[in-house]
């Protein structure tokens, strides 16, 4: 779309006159929409500092489709306050805060800081948007970046914010320089750029992959991309220049001697890619090498990457580390856990060629399984030499672009993708049949579960399914029609919530609407995704609510009822921890008139100031007179009466009282209150009487009219009154019970103490298996109601696999808050018995032993990952911290950093008499 020039008034063609901000945002929004419709590889986007862009958005308005986060806005309320202000027009575009100081490369592209986050530190705008903003505001500098396409099969577009940076070493003089180009650039383009910078004829140049300062692979001029050649960010390449102009297959070594380029020796390994023996010339006697020769799947087979010149044949296998390639500790941690999984070791050290499924559209053409198997063999045959997993990372980025680049990612997310990818690459089912799932329709669980597993196996048969997949029972219940839906679904791992992430502690003050008791705060535990009905149920249990009573929830703000929480299905997420929630305990029955009583203190200055919590009751008389109102006020306040001793009161002394908190005093107060139906203001009784001043007010509480005994109150479903407290009222009633309402959840010492307490793995599992209402964004379509319902979901374990993986959900996310729970989870190392949790009655026992842990240290957006793994042959634990590997004791592996737990089921040996003995893991 081309915008007309009339939209942009120019000043002599050199400067742009300001246009209205709403016009700016309209033009930019149209240009963004146009760019989304015409998105293709090679389009230019420009990086703009979020500091400047946020100031522009405050001036012009929010821009649809743009990621921007004002760092100064810590919550929505503050953000709204900022947005409501009339912001000034920003000055020139200023990208100085995101530009790196190390811009010493040989091209003109400016670098930006490596640690920046899109939406928080910078935004990306299409080229046309940048041009308009530059016309209107000037400034800069321009930071253009290209849109690239990543992934195999389903392409994913992304802007290459950080081009590939390579360190060039010139073998002639060891001079080092830097080149930057897209990872989608070809090796031919790399030659062209390097030769241009160095002033070398291309036919004389020879560029080597010089990773770890080792000549790994000669990069030949071709259309292969740098990404497919496994070139990494900031790695070294070596330029050699031939002196013989007539010989294209020669080169010079680093001291100037003429080189004869010879075929490279293949990786030194006692095993081929598919497990067959390797001959002295490096060619496999198995069929896998010839089968994949020349295909994309063979790239990891013939590459010199990950080679090891120092293999310690006498060293124990499985003790090699993995080099960190730049924020790849998350990947290294996950990989070490998988390569120390006993069934995986046994499988990938054998010939698995027949299982490779290159035609599976859901797989990765077998490449991911081949790369993983190749890496596992190297780790088990390299002694203690650390391996750089470049080929594997390249394959990973090829099929999962979300893991490309060098940002920190999540080891749980990687494990989920990797297990699924390995399964599809090794799936023995070549043609998946179409199977229509049937409803359970009241059939026995055993029959439905068997049918579901049989159907699953008809489409999925691999090592991963055989050893890693289990089955759970999922029960959904409609909250309206009670329709029950039961399904049996496979799982690859169990994501266990920390108990504190699915429940929340809420404190609510309960008031008696009939004046039969003192207000009392109650603290209850409820589901975070629950609703007000769940809170009322928990409160009812805590305060011993009678069958003929109900609770009315309300939020109190500034000593007034801010809102009533009358909808039982309103989510509890709408109640914040800092709010004050009260519940009014009322009799069930017909509702006529709600009476809301607010308290005002008469100050010595004559002013009236609101205090305390409002009281709420229902009036049954109709029509309403002032006398009815006053009688109800006296009744509801009766528990607050100060009870004077009879001796003191007869002497007229007021120097002592006891609270009416006891049952005896409550009975006296209630009896006395009943005598006040006519609201006779008796003076000189044993307890004294108050002549409260009541004022009728409106919803906004801005007007107030005095209420007399014979005042006729206009019929209304909601009557609001002010109750004025004077010195005499304070002498007769204890107003402290109305003050200082507790917050829903008070953060402080108690919470910190709780977070340090240990919880068991069983508590996490039970939280996972607890009934839970679906969230508002995850509604279930009820086939009986023909409506989406917030159903209740219940999970049960039905079939457990040999390898059981637990994810501990330590991270919680919301719109304005990201949090990590460092709670220590006490997990068994030996004899984890889950038999009682398995619902199928197969007579088997399910006892597991721990063999690996993925750890996460630090907070969000960073931190560090390591792994603990046990070597089965020597029954010892080791700590894998990237390249560093060290022994640890069993006592050391338990920590609050445990993130993913790997268990193996113990073997059962049937003894005489039918008893079972566990002898160890498979």
Question: Catalytic amino acids?
Answer: 329, 864
Q: Within 13 A of 46's CA, how many CA atoms are on the CB side?
A: 21
Structure tokens at 29: 């929004």
Residues 803-812: b if buried by 16+ CB within 10 A, e if exposed: bbbbbbbbbb
Strand order of the sheet with strand 718-725?
Answer: 608-619, 593-602, 718-725, 693-697, 704-706
CB contact at 8 A, 360 and 424: yes
DSSP letter string over 316-338? PTT---B---SS-HHHHHHHHHH
- Pick the closest to residue 418 from 789, 915, 854 (CA basis): 854
- Pick the closest to residue 642 from 656, 631, 652, 630 (CA basis): 656
Beta bridge partner(s), residue 849: 904
Residue 35 has phi, psi (to 5 degrees) of -65, -35
CB contact at 8 A, 503 and 526: yes
Unique residue bearing structure tokens 């719109």: 815
Residues 130-162: b if buried by 16+ CB within 10 A, e if exposed: bebbbebbebbeebebebbebbeeeeeebbbbb
Distance (Å, whole) CA 692 – CA 690: 6
- Pick the closest to residue 875 from 829, 918, 806, 907 (CA basis): 829
Which 3-state string (H, E, C) describes 88-151? CCCCCEECCCCECCCCCCCCCCCCECCCCCECCCEEEEEHHHHHHHHHHHCEECCCEEEEEEEC
Radius of gyration, CA atoms only, the chain: 37
Assign residue 468 a region: left if phi > 0, alpha if psi is -120 to 50, beta otherwise? alpha
Unique residue bearing structure tokens 């209420």: 707
What residues contact 37, with CB distance under 8 A and at least 6 apart?
none
CB contact at 8 A, 920 and 906: yes
Distance (Å, whole) CA 866 – CA 855: 5
Beta bridge partner(s), residue 856: 865
Helix (H, G, I), strand (E, B) or coil at 339: helix
Q: Exposed, middle or buried: residue 284 (CB in 10 Å: 0-12, 13-18, 19+)?
A: buried
Distance (Å, whole) CA 102 – CA 94: 18
Helix (H, G, I), strand (E, B) or coil at 878: strand
């Amino acid at each position: 779309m081309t915008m007309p020039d009339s939209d942009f008034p120019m000043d002599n063609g050199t400067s742009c006159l300001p246009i209205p901000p709403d016009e700016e945002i309209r033009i930019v929004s149209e240009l963004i929409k146009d760019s989304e419709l015409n998105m293709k590889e090679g389009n230019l986007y420009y990086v703009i500092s979020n500091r400047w862009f946020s100031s522009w958005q405050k001036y012009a308005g929010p821009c649809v489709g743009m990621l921007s986060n004002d760092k100064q806005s810590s919550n929505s309320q503050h953000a709204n306050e900022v947005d409501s202000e009339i912001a000034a027009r920003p000055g020139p575009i200023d990208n100085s805060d995101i530009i790196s100081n190390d811009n010493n490369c040989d091209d003109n592209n400016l670098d930006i800081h490596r640690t920046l986050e899109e939406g928080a530190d910078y935004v990306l705008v299409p080229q046309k948007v940048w041009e308009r903003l530059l016309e209107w505001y000037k400034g800069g500098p321009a930071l253009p970046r290209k849109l690239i396409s990543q992934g195999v099969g389903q392409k994913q577009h992304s802007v290459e914010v950080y081009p590939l940076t390579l360190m060039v070493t010139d073998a002639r003089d060891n001079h080092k320089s830097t080149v930057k180009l897209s990872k989608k650039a070809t090796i031919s383009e790399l030659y062209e750029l390097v030769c241009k910078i160095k002033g070398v004829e291309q036919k004389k140049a020879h560029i080597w992959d010089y990773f770890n300062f080792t000549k790994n692979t000669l990069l030949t001029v071709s259309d292969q991309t740098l990404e497919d050649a496994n070139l990494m960010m900031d790695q070294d390449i070596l330029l050699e220049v031939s002196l013989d102009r007539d010989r294209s297959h020669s080169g010079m070594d680093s001291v100037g001697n003429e080189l004869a380029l010879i075929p490279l020796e293949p990786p030194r390994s006692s095993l081929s890619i598919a497990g067959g023996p390797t001959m002295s010339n490096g060619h496999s006697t198995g069929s896998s090498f010839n089968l994949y020769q020349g295909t994309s799947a063979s790239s990891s087979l013939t590459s010199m990457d990950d080679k090891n010149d120092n293999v310690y044949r006498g060293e124990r296998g499985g003790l090699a580390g993995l080099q960190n390639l730049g924020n790849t500790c998350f990947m290294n941690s996950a990989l070490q856990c998988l390569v120390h999984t006993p069934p995986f070791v046994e499988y990938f050290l054998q010939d698995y060629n027949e299982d490779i499924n290159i035609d599976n559209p859901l797989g990765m053409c077998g490449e991911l399984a081949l790369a993983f198997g190749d890496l596992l063999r190297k780790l088990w045959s390299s002694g203690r030499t650390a391996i750089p997993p470049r080929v594997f990372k390249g394959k990973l980025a090829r099929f999962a672009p979300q893991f490309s680049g060098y940002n920190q990612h999540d080891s749980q997310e990687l494990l989920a993708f990797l297990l699924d990818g390995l399964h599809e690459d090794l799936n023995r089912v070549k043609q998946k049949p179409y199977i229509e799932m049937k409803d359970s329709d009241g059939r026995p669980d055993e029959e439905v579960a068997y049918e579901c597993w049989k159907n699953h196996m008809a489409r999925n048969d691999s090592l991963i399914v055989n050893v890693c997949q289990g089955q759970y029972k999922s029960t959904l219940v409609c909250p309206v029609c009670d329709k029950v839906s039961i399904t049996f679904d496979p799982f690859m791992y169990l994501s266990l919530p920390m108990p504190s992430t699915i429940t929340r502690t809420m404190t609510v003050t309960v008031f008696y609407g009939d004046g039969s008791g003192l207000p009392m705060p109650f603290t209850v535990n409820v589901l975070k995704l629950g609703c007000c009905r769940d809170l009322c149920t928990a409160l009812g249990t805590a305060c011993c609510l009678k069958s003929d009573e109900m609770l009315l929830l309300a939020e109190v703000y500034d000593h007034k009822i801010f809102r009533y929480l009358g909808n039982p299905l309103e989510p509890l997420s709408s109640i914040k921890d800092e709010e004050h929630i009260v519940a009014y305990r009322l009799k069930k029955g017909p509702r006529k008139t709600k009476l809301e009583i607010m308290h005002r203190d008469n100050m010595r200055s004559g002013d009236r100031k609101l205090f305390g919590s409002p009281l709420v009751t229902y009036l049954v008389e109709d029509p309403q007179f002032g006398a009815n109102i006053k009688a109800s006020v006296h009744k509801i306040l009766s528990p607050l009466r100060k009870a004077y001793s009879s001796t003191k009161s007869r002497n007229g002394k007021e120097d002592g009282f006891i609270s009416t908190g006891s049952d005896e005093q409550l009975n006296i107060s209630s009896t006395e209150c009943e005598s006040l139906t006519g609201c006779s203001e008796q003076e000189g009784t044993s307890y004294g009487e108050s002549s409260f001043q009541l004022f009728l007010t409106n919803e906004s509480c801005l007007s107030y009219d005095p209420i007399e005994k014979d005042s006729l109150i206009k019929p209304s479903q909601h009557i609001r009154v002010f109750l004025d407290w004077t010195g005499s009222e304070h002498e007769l009633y204890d107003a402290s019970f109305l003050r200082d309402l507790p917050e829903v959840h008070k953060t402080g010492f108690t919470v910190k103490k709780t977070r340090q307490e240990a919880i068991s793995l069983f508590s996490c599992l039970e939280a996972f298996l607890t009934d839970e209402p679906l969230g508002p964004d995850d509604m279930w379509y009820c086939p009986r109601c023909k409506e989406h319902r917030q159903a209740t979901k219940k999970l049960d374990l039905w079939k457990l696999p040999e390898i059981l993986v637990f994810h501990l959900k330590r991270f919680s996310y919301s719109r304005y808050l990201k949090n990590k729970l460092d709670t220590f989870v006490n997990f068994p190392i030996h004899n984890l018995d889950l038999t009682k949790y398995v619902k199928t009655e197969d007579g088997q026992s399910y006892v597991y032993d721990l063999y690996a842990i993925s750890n996460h240290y630090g907070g969000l957006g960073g931190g560090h990952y390591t792994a603990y793994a046990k070597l089965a042959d020597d029954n010892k634990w080791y700590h894998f911290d990237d390249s560093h590997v060290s022994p640890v004791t069993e006592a050391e592996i338990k920590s609050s950093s445990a993130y993913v737990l790997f268990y193996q089921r113990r073997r059962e040996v049937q003894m005489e008499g039918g008893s079972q003995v566990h002898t160890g893991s498979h």
